[in-house]
C-alpha cells in the first residue's frame, strides 16, 4: 500500500471545510507505508505495547456493554483514532472517510459560509482570523474570539468538525453566532447570512510610486496571481507614478494563515537572488530537504517592506523569515504567529486520512520559529488600544517543542534607515478606526510607506485619504485550512 505526502503550512481549520485546501493538493512524493513503519520496530512487539493494546480492548468492551445507550464499534474506534492523532499537537488530526470526502468536495468548489478561520483550543472553537470581505469580517468578528453558540444553541462539548458543520449551510441562509471576546470579557451576538466564499488571494494598489500587494493565503495559484498584480502595477506606474516607475514594494502578509510550502518557496524566490530559502527537518534524516533561490528578483532590487501581525502564520512566516534573514526586506508590524511545523496529508486506504506533523522548518539562519514567531525589525501595533485577544502558537495546548535550530541571540539589524528610529510603536489615541476601504486609516501601512519612501529617496505619498482600497484579483482560489 502506498500513500501520498502533501506538505502543508496552514494554521487552522476552515469552518465550512474539515481541512484547508492546501491539504488536498499534494506534492506527489510517494512512500511505501510498510517500509516507513519498518523504520522503527523497537516497540512493535514489546510486552508494554501488548499490555496497552489489551487495555484498549478491555476499555472498548466495557464501554460497549455498560454505556447508557448502545455504541457502535465504528464510533468507538473513530473516537480513539481522533484522540490518538489530535492530541499529538494542535495541527495533527484524523479524518473519517466522510470528513475526508467533505474536505475534497468543498475544496474543489464553492460553499456557503461566513469566512472564518477557526481552530480548536482546549475543546473550544477559537477564531484565528476572519477572511477579507466576508460576512464574518464585515460583522466585526475578531481574531481570538471564542464561538460559544450557533443559532442560540451551545456548541460546548462538540468536536471542531461538529461545530464547523453547524456553521456551514447554503448561501443566503441566516445564522446567529454568539462569541466571547476574552480580553474584554464581553459576550456578543452576530446575526449573519452565509455567502459563497470567494477568497481573493491577491490584492494590489499603487500609492505614489510604491507598489502594494496583499497576499491572503498561499494557495496553488498565488505566485501567478502575484506576478499578474505586479505587472499591472508596473504598467500603472508608467502613467500614474512620479517618475513613471515603481520605487518600492509593500508586501502585506497580515492575517495570512499560510498554505502550501511550494508557494511559500516560490514567492520567496521571486525576491531573493541566491541563498537558502527554507529547510525542513523531520524524524528521518533522509526526508530532510533544503530549498535555495534560483537567481530571480521580479523587482530588480527595489526596497521591500513586509507587513506582519499575529495572524501571519506558517507559509507567511517562511517568506518573512527568508526575506528578513537575507536582509532583502524590512519586517514592520507585530510578531507573527509562530507555527514552525509542516503537516503531511496521508490518505489511509478508503477509510479516511491523517493530517500529521512530520517536520519542523528552519529559516536561512537556521532558526526554528516554532512557538516564537518572526520578530519585526520595526515594531508597530495595529491599534492604540486593541480590544482583540491576541494569541499565538505558544498559547495553544500541547504544542510542538522548539528544538534543533540556531539558538544564538539574534542581533539587531544595522542596515535600517534612520527613519526607523522615529516610527511610532502604536497609533495615537485619536487615530480613526481601521476601515479596509480607507487606506488612510491603516496605521501600519502608513508607517510602511514612510520607511519605503525613505529607502527610495522619494516623497511619502500624500493621497492616501482619497486612494481606493486595494484591487481584487479574481484568481480562482481554494479555502485556507480552517474556514467557514
Q: Find, among 208, 163, 319, 210, the residue nearest to 256 by Cα.
A: 319
**Intervals of the chain under pLDDT 50:** 1-6, 11-38, 108-109, 387-388, 465-467, 473-484
Measure the CA–CA gap between 216 and 178, rounded to whole angstroms.
26
Q: What's the pLDDT at 330?
A: 98
Measure the CA–CA gap between 375 and 338, rounded to whole angstroms.
10
Q: What's 29's DSSP letter?
A: E
Q: What's the pLDDT at 396?
A: 78
Q: What's the pLDDT at 370?
A: 93
Q: Find, among 246, 244, 251, the residue nearest to 210 by Cα.
A: 246
Q: What's 435's DSSP letter?
A: B
Q: What's the pLDDT at 473?
A: 44
Q: What's the pLDDT at 111?
A: 61
Measure the CA–CA gap between 324 and 36, rounded to whole angstroms.
36
Q: What's the pLDDT at 386?
A: 56
* Strands 471-472, 202-207: pairing kind: antiparallel
Which segments of 146-241 are extended strands (E)? 146-150, 153-154, 174-181, 186-193, 195-196, 202-207, 210-215
Q: What's the pLDDT at 467?
A: 46
Place of cell 507585530: 334
Measure the CA–CA gap between 116 and 199, rounded to whole angstroms.
11
Q: What's the pLDDT at 17?
A: 31
Contacts within 8 Å (CB) and 24+ apart, 474-477: 474/198, 474/200, 475/200, 475/201, 475/202, 475/221, 475/224, 475/225, 475/228, 476/221, 477/21, 477/198, 477/199, 477/200, 477/201, 477/217, 477/219, 477/221
Q: What is the per-residue pLDDT across 189-237, written as a single tens digit (0 to 9) for each?
A: 999 999 987 778 899 999 999 999 999 889 888 999 999 999 999 999 9
Q: Find, among 40, 127, 122, 54, the residue nearest to 87 by Cα.
A: 122
The set of catalytic residues is 314, 325, 339
Cβ count within 10 A of residue 146: 17
How many residues make up the chain in this entry? Answer: 484
Q: What's the pLDDT at 15?
A: 42
Greatest alpha-carbon span in the chain = 80
Q: What's the pLDDT at 150?
A: 95
Q: pTM higher than 0.85, yes or no? A: no
Amino acid at each position: 500500500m502506498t500513500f501520498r505526502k502533501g506538505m502543508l503550512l496552514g494554521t487552522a481549520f476552515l469552518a465550512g471545510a474539515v481541512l484547508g485546501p492546501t491539504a488536498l493538493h499534494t506534492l506527489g512524493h510517494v512512500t511505501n507505508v510498510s517500509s516507513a513503519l519498518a523504520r522503527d520496530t523497537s516497540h512493535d512487539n514489546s510486552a508494554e505495547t501488548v499490555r496497552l493494546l489489551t487495555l484498549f480492548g478491555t476499555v472498548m468492551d466495557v464501554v460497549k456493554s455498560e454505556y447508557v445507550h448502545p455504541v457502535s464499534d465504528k464510533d468507538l474506534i473513530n473516537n480513539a483514532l481522533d484522540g490518538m492523532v489530535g492530541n499529538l499537537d494542535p495541527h495533527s488530526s484524523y479524518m473519517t472517510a466522510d470528513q475526508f470526502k467533505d474536505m475534497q468536495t468543498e475544496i474543489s468548489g464553492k460553499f456557503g459560509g461566513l469566512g472564518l478561520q477557526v481552530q480548536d483550543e482546549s475543546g473550544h472553537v477559537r477564531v484565528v482570523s476572519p477572511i477579507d470581505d466576508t460576512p464574518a469580517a464585515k460583522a466585526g468578528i475578531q481574531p481570538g474570539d471564542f464561538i460559544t453558540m450557533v443559532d442560540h444553541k451551545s456548541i460546548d462539548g462538540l468536536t471542531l468538525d461538529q461545530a464547523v458543520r453547524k456553521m456551514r449551510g447554503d448561501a443566503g441562509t441566516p445564522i446567529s453566532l454568539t462569541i466571547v471576546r476574552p480580553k474584554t470579557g464581553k459576550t456578543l451576538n452576530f446575526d449573519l447570512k452565509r455567502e459563497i466564499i470567494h477568497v481573493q488571494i491577491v490584492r494590489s494598489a499603487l500609492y505614489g510610486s510604491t507598489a502594494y500587494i496583499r497576499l491572503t493565503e498561499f494557495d496553488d495559484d498565488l505566485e501567478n496571481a502575484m506576478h499578474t498584480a505586479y505587472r499591472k502595477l508596473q504598467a500603472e506606474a508608467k502613467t500614474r507614478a512620479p517618475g513613471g516607475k515603481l520605487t518600492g514594494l509593500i508586501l502585506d502578509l497580515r492575517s495570512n494563515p499560510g498554505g502550501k510550502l511550494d508557494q511559500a518557496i516560490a514567492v520567496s524566490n521571486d525576491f531573493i537572488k541566491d541563498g537558502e530559502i527554507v529547510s525542513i527537518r523531520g524524524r528521518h534524516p533522509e526526508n530532510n530537504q533544503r530549498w535555495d533561490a534560483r537567481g530571480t528578483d521580479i523587482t530588480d532590487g527595489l526596497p521591500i517592506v513586509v507587513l506582519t501581525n499575529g495572524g501571519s502564520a506558517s507559509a507567511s512566516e517562511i517568506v518573512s523569515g527568508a526575506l528578513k534573514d537575507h536582509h532583502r526586506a524590512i519586517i514592520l508590524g507585530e510578531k507573527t504567529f509562530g507555527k514552525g511545523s509542516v503537516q503531511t496529508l496521508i490518505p489511509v486506504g478508503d477509510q479516511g486520512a491523517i493530517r500529521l506533523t512530520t517536520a519542523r522548518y528552519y529559516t536561512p539562519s537556521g532558526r526554528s520559529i516554532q512557538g516564537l514567531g518572526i520578530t519585526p525589525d520595526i515594531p508597530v501595533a495595529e491599534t492604540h488600544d486593541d480590544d482583540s485577544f491576541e494569541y499565538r502558537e505558544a498559547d495553544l495546548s500541547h504544542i510542538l517543542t522548539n528544538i534543533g535550530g540556531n539558538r544564538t541571540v539574534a542581533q539587531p539589524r544595522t542596515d535600517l534607515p534612520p527613519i526607523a528610529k522615529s516610527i511610532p510603536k502604536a497609533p495615537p489615541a485619536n487615530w480613526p478606526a481601521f476601515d479596509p476601504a480607507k487606506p488612510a486609516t491603516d496605521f501600519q501601512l502608513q508607517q510602511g510607506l514612510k520607511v519605503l519612501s525613505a529607502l527610495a529617496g522619494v516623497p511619502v505619498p500624500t493621497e492616501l485619504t482619497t486612494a481606493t482600497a486595494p484591487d481584487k484579483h479574481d484568481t480562482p482560489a481554494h479555502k485556507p485550512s480552517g474556514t467557514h
